Amino acid sequence: MTSLDEARARDASDPLRHLRGEFDLPEGVIYLDGNSLGAPPRRALDRIAETARVEWRRGLVRSWNEAGWIDLPMSAGVKISRLIGARADETIVCDSVSVNLFKLATALLERSGYDALCIDATEFPTDQYVAEGAARFSGATPKRIENGEIPENAVLIKSLVHYKTAGIADMAASEREARRKNCLLIWDLSHATGLVEIDAKRDGARFAVGCGYKFLNGGPGAPAFVYVAREEAQSLNQPVSGWMGHAAPFEFSSYYAPAQGVYRFASGTPPILSLAALDAALDLFEDIDMRLMEEKARALGDFFLESLDGAPLTALASTPRRGGHVCVRGEDSYAIMQALIAKGVIGDFRAPDLMRFGFSPLYNTFEDAFRAADMLKRLLASGDWRAAQFRERRKVT
């Protein structure tokens, strides 16, 4: 059995505990959904205000040069490169994960001539939908695979951290097998970046996309990123060949010539307010040991599950290495989660029947995990979640 005292003792010896103060979290809320939308870093909020009030209001269009707006997709990309084990010039921040997957998958299908674009049938839905669209666009066949299979002579989209089970794939082993089978692997790092140790170079990963608003805390709708290894980028052509990915956008040439390396994956004008927030949020990771982050995320999830001991819930099976969330099932997971949110413990619901609780090592504490579990147990014991209001399905779950 866990206790509040034990939770506090673990917080007191947590080497990452000083980071919670960097976040502006509301009173009376236990936030366990940083895997869906990261909490706001104070410095990101300040940066949005500064970007709007000073750079936009006073600087106006001059700020593209004077405030460095035009370089932000690359400079934020440098910060992400450090987090994923890429070289500085191999990552660019742009668009959404969906759009970036489309650009990368179609570029790889075109270059390789492969006629299959594969994805596991349990992957995050948008990845599956984009795989269908990108395959159709490329004249290839979308194929659903199972159990982490690596297909031959194909492009494969694969998450490093699974959005439900939180299982962490073995990047190095997958890449070794992919090379033997002539499979081009696109990693989706959405649930992994800013949470687990990633070393793309060491593990041989050449292509990836990832999300800016989850564990990177870039804010709602923050732009995503694309990573392409230097040796590969020069021979790839992406279909949304907009001016920001042109070698010289301000020459206003009539014809497209791609920029160097991964920068050709840019398309249109970057969303500066969002990008500035993400850029500021990324500075929080500057001196952080990602192994500590991964360990703490795992420990928080374990502590939460231990604290639920005896509650009428079943936890989704865990893996030896796990990302930043845990999922449990109850009698009516949707209604229970709605009732829990009404009590100030914020997680989310993932169809068809999972309650998901995300633990961000930057700001979540063992006390959060203990109190959330305690609240959930009381709620289940009281039956208050059975009220009709909690069954009403909302647009975003």
Ligand X SMILES: *Cc1c(COP(=O)(O)O)cnc(C)c1O
Nearest distance from C-beta of residue 345 to ligand X, angstroms: 22
Read off the amino acid at residue 335: A
Distance of CA 108 to the CA centre of its chain: 22
Nearest distance from C-beta of residue 8 to ligand X, angstroms: 32
**Structure tokens belonging to residue 391:** 């069954």
* Residue 212, CA atoms < 13 Å, CB-side half-sphere: 35
Helices vs. strands in the chain: H and E counts, helices first = 13, 13
Q: Which of 23, 114, 124, 363 is catalytic?
A: 124
Nearer to ligand X, 190 or 217 (CB): 190
CA distance 110 to 139: 10
Nearest distance from C-beta of residue 209 to ligand X, angstroms: 8
Torsion 20-24-25-26 (CA) sign: positive
Nearer to ligand X, 64 or 129 (CB): 129
- Residue 310 Rama label (left phi>0; alpha psi -120 to 50; beta): left
Beta bridge partners, 210, equal 225
Number of residues that make up the chain: 397
Q: Which of 10, 43, 206, 356 is catalytic?
A: 356
Nearer to ligand X, 7 or 277 (CB): 277
Nearer to ligand X, 130 or 262 (CB): 130
Nearest distance from C-beta of residue 226 to ligand X, angstroms: 12
Peptide bond into 352 cis (omega under 30): yes
Collapse the DSSP code of 301 into the 3-class scheme (helix H, G, I; strand E, B; otherwise coil) and give the result.
Answer: helix
Q: Which of 120, 188, 279, 348 is catalytic?
A: 188
**CB neighbour list of residue 152: distance below 8 Å, 6 or more residues apart:** 181, 182, 183
Nearest distance from C-beta of residue 64 to ligand X, angstroms: 25
**CB neighbour list of residue 179: distance below 8 Å, 6 or more residues apart:** 204
* Active site annotation includes 124: yes
Nearer to ligand X, 244 or 335 (CB): 244
Nearest distance from C-beta of residue 320 to ligand X, angstroms: 21
CA distance 255 to 264: 14
* Active site annotation includes 356: yes
Q: Which of 10, 103, 214, 322 is catalytic?
A: 214
Nearest distance from C-beta of residue 124 to ligand X, angstroms: 3
Nearest to 12 by CA among 369, 385, 366, 379: 366
Is residue 318 within 8 Å of 161, Cβ to Cβ?
no
Read off the amino acid at residue 380: L
Nearer to ligand X, 55 or 294 (CB): 294
CA distance 328 to 321: 18
Read off the amino acid at residue 102: F
Nearest distance from C-beta of residue 125 to ligand X, angstroms: 8
Residue 352's CB is within 10 A of a number of other CB atoms, namely 8
* Active site annotation includes 129: no
Nearer to ligand X, 126 or 241 (CB): 126
CA distance 342 to 379: 11
Interacting residues with ligand X (CB under 6 A): 96-98, 124, 126-127, 159, 163, 188, 190-191, 211, 214, 224
* Active site annotation includes 214: yes
* Active site annotation includes 213: yes
Nearer to ligand X, 277 or 313 (CB): 277
List the catalytic residues: 124, 188, 213-214, 356
